[in-house]
Copies of this chain bind each other. A is one copy, B any other.
């Protein structure tokens, strides 16, 4: 089945029971045929493809030829400089919108920076904490959903109670966020992916950012975890920007509220990039003092390597254009498969993101788990159904995160054929079982 074949079809819901059963058995047969091909494709994680990684290979060879000294005279091979070398800070400062005293450069994982920040908050508290969070009777967290599964997993690991906040096209439901944080002092934080959100691709509107800055949380040590993971990861020619959360918070006197995270995982190498945390100068000083017990300094040679390879923020933007050239056709293929194979049948809905790493698919209620399982049977691995929700539970069982970046176009084409067939099968079953 392809776009042209489906154009003259009726919507699935308009089929008679007979027609539906016949359509269903065709689709089942089709899935069986795919299964016989013994595919082994992975669309489960937001992982760059090899072609994207090749873009940064030069970084690994000549960036450190015989010169390991940073601009201000630090031998990057040796101990020290907990907050990172200045030229690495300079790469991130315009990216996340902070000044030179408002940033710490981390290791190869911003997830680690986020986890560690919460671990320290639990054991020691953040700046302004009346006591360590682990000494509070309970700690709660706002989780806009669909969202990033690894964010939610951190909360789950630490026994932090997650409260789901619906995710809109311009950010979380701010009425709910405002009400909850102002009423409940157990709520210590919120997860945000403000640009090209994981998985919906939503971009926070100016109004949403301003409402975040204007929050008046009951907890004196409430923190906005602003994971700007996709801040330069555009898929269109438009370089979308959002309001600067730290600057907005300075205007409201809440500059200690946001903690901004980013990394080069999807700019250079997921396995060997660098990360950053941005925050008010006071927050940074406080965190540095806490972090000094954990580590003498993150890998400065890798910081220097990145600084020399990218040179400046423009260098990063140029690199992102190259990533876009590789990724855009993959996203186009996914959208066109969904539009061609599901839209005419009236099955499901999906995001068409301007950036980021995912397409978020919402099928008919109760079909997500079935689709993921059918795809797995046919050799196509998807993110678990429900993964984008706190505790892994999608109340509608309808959301699936499609990650099109890692497979080749050819593989992606095969995988999307399987996906759309599975979606049709599941949609039929949902109708037949009504």
The answer to whether B272 and A76 touch across the interface, beta carbons within 8 angstroms, is yes
A154 CA to B294 CA, complexed, in Å = 7
**For window 240-281 of chain A, which residues contact chain B by CB distance below 8 Å?**
265, 269-272
SS class of chain A's interface: helix, strand, loop or mixed?
A: loop
Which residues 137-163 of A have a CB within 8 angstroms of B? Answer: 150, 153-154, 156-158
Q: Which of B80, B115, B124, B134 contacts A294 (CB 8 A)?
A: B115
A301 interface residue, CB < 8 Å from B?
A: yes
A298 to chain B, nearest CB (A): 7
Which residue of B has the minimal Cβ distance to A62? B61
Asked if A123 is an interface residue, CB under 8 A from chain B, the answer is yes
Chain B residues near A119 (CB-CB < 8 A) = 119-120, 123, 294
Question: A265-310: which have CB < 8 Å to B?
Answer: 265, 269-272, 290, 293-302
Give a binary string over A61-78; 1 marks a CB under 8 Å from any B CB, 0 the rest: 110111010000001111
A295 engages B60 (CB within 8 Å): no
- CB-based contact A108/B107 at 8 Å: yes
Q: With A107-B107, A115-B293, A134-B123 as given contacts, are A269 and B60 in contact (CB-CB < 8 Å)? A: no
User: Among residues 81 to 115 in chain A, which have CB atoms less than 8 Å away from a CB atom of chain B?
Assistant: 107-109, 111-112, 115
Q: Which of B45, B53, B65, B112 contacts A77 (CB 8 A)?
A: B53
Say which residue of B78, B120, B265 sits within 8 Å of A269 (CB atoms): B78
A201 to B80, CA, bound (A): 24
How far, in Å, is A268 (CB) from chain B's closest CB? Answer: 8
Asked if A122 lies at the interface with its beta carbon under 8 angstroms from chain B, I say yes
Query: Shortest beta-carbon distance, A326 to chain B, in Å?
Result: 14
Most chain-B Cβ atoms within 10 A of its Cβ — which of A48, A78, A298? A78
* Distance A276 CA – B218 CA, assembled complex (angstroms): 42
A57: interface (CB < 8 Å): yes
> Is A184 interfacial (CB-CB < 8 Å)?
no
Q: Given A111-B295, A296-B109, do A301 and B157 touch, yes or no (CB 8 Å)?
A: no
Contact B60 A64, beta carbon cutoff 8 Å: yes
Cβ contacts under 8 Å, A130 to chain B = none
Question: Assembly of this chain: how many copies?
Answer: 2
Which residues of chain B come closer than 8 Å to A156, judged between CB atoms? Answer: 293
Contact A293/B123 with A53-B78, A271-B301 known, Cβ cut-off 8 Å: no
**CB interface residues, A 19-72, toward B, < 8 Å:** 45, 47-48, 50, 53, 56-57, 60-62, 64-66, 68
Q: Choose among A53, A56, A60, A124 the residue with the greatest number of B CB atoms under 10 Å from its CB.
A: A60
Q: Is the CB of B293 within 8 A of A157?
A: yes
List, in ascending order, chain B residues with CB within 8 A of A293's CB: 115, 150, 153-154, 156-157
CB atoms of A116 and B294 under 8 A apart? yes
- What 0/1 pattern do residues 340 to 359 of A give for CB contact below 8 A with B? 00000000000000000000
Chain B residues with CB under 8 A of A48: 78
25 A-B contacts (beta carbon < 8 Å)? A53-B75, A56-B77, A61-B61, A61-B62, A61-B64, A75-B271, A76-B272, A77-B271, A78-B271, A79-B270, A107-B107, A107-B298, A108-B299, A109-B295, A109-B298, A111-B296, A115-B295, A116-B294, A119-B119, A119-B123, A119-B294, A123-B134, A150-B293, A153-B293, A271-B299
Chain A residues proximal to chain B, CB less than 8 Å = 45, 47-48, 50, 53, 56-57, 60-62, 64-66, 68, 75-80, 107-109, 111-112, 115-116, 119-120, 122-124, 134, 150, 153-154, 156-158, 265, 269-272, 290, 293-302
Shortest Cβ-Cβ A-B pairs, 7 listed = A272-B301, A157-B293, A115-B294, A79-B270, A60-B64, A53-B77, A77-B269
